[in-house]
Structure 1
Amino acid sequence: MKILGHRGLPVLYKENTLQSLLAPFSFGADGIETDVRLTKDGVPVLIHDETLTNFCGAGVRVGDLTLAELKEYKSNGETIPTLEEFLKLAPKNRCLNIEVKEYEAGELSVLICKTFYEGEIIFSSFNHRLINELKERYSGLKFGYLFDEQHISMSDEEILALFDKNTYSAHLPVIGLLYFPERLVNIIKELKKREIKIVLWTVNSKNDIARITEYVDYVITDDVRIFL
């Protein structure tokens, strides 16, 4: 089971900053998960939220700022890094889970990762159409579908059908084990039969996955120290 820092190590540092994203590696983590959006001038940057409210208290949208303008906003001296900046600093031959937040950021993120990083990269998104398109276009890369409450209405058959071709992983919320334990476990077992990797987020206690540890391939956690 590989341990990935959720947006880095947010229990110690501001999430998605270089300080946070690089910290898990010093504790021996296998990698990190981070989010990608585009600036107004089309540069992929690493931030989860659509606005800067949680980052520095500014209610401005990331997509309304050029990169130069975005870099003027800071949190404890840290700015929001570009995808390229992070890739150039990240240790090689580790695992990066790149979550694409916006459709427009998809292909550019893939191309930048291919250019600047040597190691395992998994591209995931809640936008299943985007993943469908990318996995057809880049058959040699790893792609995964993210699921949350917006997908509850999907039938098990519809979920499993997504994994019929060239799909590496399923990214499932660990909280689903609390609300839909039987259904989620059954889906996980079926996916494992199809040799799909199981990624659980956000796991902040070993007890959260005690009953299904044998099926879990990747854990995304706010505090990698719990598992290391």
Structure 2
Amino acid sequence: MASAQFQVLSVLCRTSRQFVIDALKGFSSTTILSPNALSRDIINSYIGTSIEQFQKNTLDSFRSYYHFVSSLVEENHFISALRTNFYTRSVPDSNISVTFSAIYPQQVNQTPSSLMSNETCRCDRTSDCVYPAGIYNQSQTIVSNEVFSLDESPLFIVPGFQVGCVPQNALLQSTLECFYNQSCLDIVISLTDALRTVSALNISNSFSRFSPT
């Protein structure tokens, strides 16, 4: 499931980068025309306002694109290949299959099912249902029309990272703080025997204005 999140993250990064490149091309072709000579202060003020408007328009365009794609997925009830939003069950002794919505608990106490919250979130009503990503020693199968629950306490919950109905919605409700924390990565590596060549990202080398959390 994590691979799907990383694929979505990669697509979002490439798409947002292309949006910025295209917007910069349009912005660089902008000209200032005036019948009179303009003072330096007026020009600087105009440039500052233009840059702010450019940033706002670029962000609005990307948001519109993202919401368009998300609405297509949600309104058409596309079934995730991970079966995290809908799943099918065949009817015994027939060729009929029935589709069920995934149901997640609204609040997770990270303990077996007896301590789960009674409030639920259904993927047939919203694609924003999320569940803490982690490493689970889970043997219980999904029961149709019942909320997803644990039969064992999780081995490890990845801080800030979410899974849910569809990868992109869960990803946008997540943080990447674990990938900046070597101790967190070491736990994931020890439990999965994977990512052994991966080391934590260095926030001091990042040019982003956003915090990992």
Give your verdict on TM over 0.5: no
TM-score normalised according to structure 2 size: 0.28
Structure index of larger Rg: 2
Greater per-residue strand proportion: 1
TM-score normalised according to structure 1 size: 0.27
